[in-house]
Structure 1
Amino acid sequence: MSEKKHQPAVYRPTGLPHYDGNPLIEALPPILSDDDVARMILHSPLKPTEAERSLPAKLRVHGVNRLTDAVIPLEIHLHLEDIFSQLLRHGYTGRHPFHRDTVAMLHASSTKDIRHSGFKSSASTMTLVGLSGMGKTTALNAIARLYPQTIRHAEYAGRPFIQTQVVWLKIECPHDGSLRGFCAAFFAALDEALSVNQYSKLMTTRLNISILLQRIAQLCRSFFIGALIIDELQHLNSARVGNGKETLLNFFVTLSNEAGIPLVYVGTNAMVPLFSGVLRNARRAVGMGVVSFDRFSADDDYWRYLVQRLWEYDWTGSPEPLTTALEDKVYDLTQGNTDFLVKLLTLAQRYVIYEGLPKVSEAILQRVYNEQMRLLHKPIEALRSGDPLQIADFEDMMPAKDQIAQMMNFDTARRARRADLALISNINATSKREKANEPSANPMVPVSKSIDSNIAKEIAESSDLDAALSAEGWIDDKPW
Structure 2
Amino acid sequence: MSNPIFLPNGMEAIKAEYKKFPLQEFNQNPLIQALPPLLDKAAIIRKLMVRPIYKDEEKYVDSAYRIYMVNRLFQLFTPLPVHVEVWNMIHSLIMQGYLARNPFDKHYKQYINESGKEIINRSFDINSRQNFRTTAGCGTFIGYSGMGKTTTINRVLSNIPQVIVHNQYRGIHYNQIQLVWLKLEAPSNSSLKALCLQFFMKIDELLGTNNYKKYVSRNMSVDHMLPLISQVSHNIGLGLLIIDETQNIKKRGADQIMNFFVYLINSGINLCLIGTPGAYDLFGKELRMTRRLTGNAEIIYNNMKYGNEFTYLLESIWKYQWTQNFIPFNEELGKAIYEETQGISDLVVKLFVYSQQLAIENGEEEVSINIIKKVAKDKFKLLQPMLEAIRSGNPHKIAKYEDIRRINSENFVVSNSRETRKQEPVNPKRVKEVEIVDKIEEPRKKLKQKEYKEDDLRYLLQRGVQIEKTPYQVLLENEYIEDTTNWIEVNDL
* One-letter amino acid of the structure 1 residue matched with residue 22 of structure 2: G
Correspondence for 2:299 among 270, 288, 291:
291
Name the structure 2 match of 1:234. Answer: 247
Q: CA deviation at 1:274?
A: 1.1
Q: State which drifts further: 343-352 or 127-136.
A: 343-352
What are structure 1's unaligned runs of at least 5 residues?
A: 409-463
Give the distance between the partners of 1:16 and 1:71, measured in 2 at CA: 32
Q: CA deviation at 1:472?
A: 11
What are structure 2's unaligned runs of at least 5 residues?
A: 6-11, 417-458, 478-493
Q: CA deviation at 1:269?
A: 0.6
Deviations 1:217-239 (A, max 9, x none): 221121121110000011011x6
Q: CA deviation at 1:33?
A: 1.3
Give the distance between the partners of 1:270 and 1:210, measured in 2 at CA: 28
Name the structure 2 match of 1:431. Answer: none
Matched, 1:198 2:203: no
Q: Is the 8 A contact 2:285 2:467 kept in 1?
A: no
Deviations 1:202-260 (A, max 9, x none): 667443333333322221121121110000011011x6x3xx321111011011102x0
TM-score by length of 1: 0.81
Q: Is the 8 A contact 1:171 1:229 kept in 2?
A: yes
Correspondence for 2:274 among 262, 266, 273:
266
Q: CA deviation at 1:469?
A: 8.3
Name the structure 1 match of 2:111. Answer: 105
Give the distance between the partners of 1:397 and 1:74, measured in 2 at CA: 20
Name the structure 2 match of 1:437. Answer: none
Q: Secondary structure at the match of 1:375?
A: coil
TM-score by length of 2: 0.79
Matched, 1:326 2:333: yes
Correspondence for 1:363 among 352, 370, 394:
370
What are the equivalent positions in structure 2 for 1:48-447 lying under 5 Å apart?
48-50=55-57, 52-107=58-113, 108=115, 109-110=118-119, 111-112=124-125, 115=128, 117-194=130-207, 196=208, 198-201=210-213, 205-237=218-250, 241=252, 244-258=253-267, 260-299=268-307, 301-401=308-408, 404-405=412-413
Q: Secondary structure at the match of 1:164?
A: strand
Correspondence for 2:26 among 19, 22, 39:
19
Deviations 1:261-280 (A, max 9, x none): 11000000100101222322
Q: How many residues align?
A: 416
The alignment-based identity, stated in percent, is 31
Give the distance between the partners of 1:338 and 1:234, measured in 2 at CA: 20
Give the distance between the partners of 2:184 and 2:332, measured in 1 at CA: 42
Give the distance between the partners of 1:80 and 1:352, measured in 2 at CA: 37
Give the distance between the partners of 1:166 and 1:20, measured in 2 at CA: 19
Give the distance between the partners of 2:314 and 2:126, measured in 1 at CA: 56
Q: Is the 8 A contact 1:104 1:114 kept in 2?
A: no
Indicate how the Cα distance of structure 1 residues 275 and 472 shifts in structure 2: closer, same or farther if over 3 A, else same.
Answer: closer
* One-letter amino acid of the structure 2 residue matched with residue 256 of structure 1: I
Give the distance between the partners of 2:142 and 2:130, measured in 1 at CA: 35
Give the distance between the partners of 2:172 and 2:126, measured in 1 at CA: 28
Q: Is the 8 A contact 2:126 2:263 kept in 1?
A: no
Q: Secondary structure at the match of 1:154?
A: strand
Deviations 1:268-299 (A, max 9, x none): 01001012223222112211121111111112
CA radius of gyration, larger in: 2
Deviations 1:4-28 (A, max 9, x none): 9511111112121222211111111
Give the distance between the partners of 2:65 and 2:361, measured in 1 at CA: 11
* One-letter amino acid of the structure 2 residue matched with residue 129 of structure 1: I
Name the structure 2 match of 1:461. Answer: none
Q: Is the 8 A contact 2:281 2:467 kept in 1?
A: no
Q: CA deviation at 1:105?
A: 2.2
Correspondence for 1:40 among 31, 47, 50:
47
Q: Secondary structure at the match of 2:51?
A: coil
Give the distance between the partners of 1:12 and 1:469, measured in 2 at CA: 51
Moved over 6 A (4+): 1-4, 466-469, 471-474
Q: Secondary structure at the match of 1:20?
A: helix
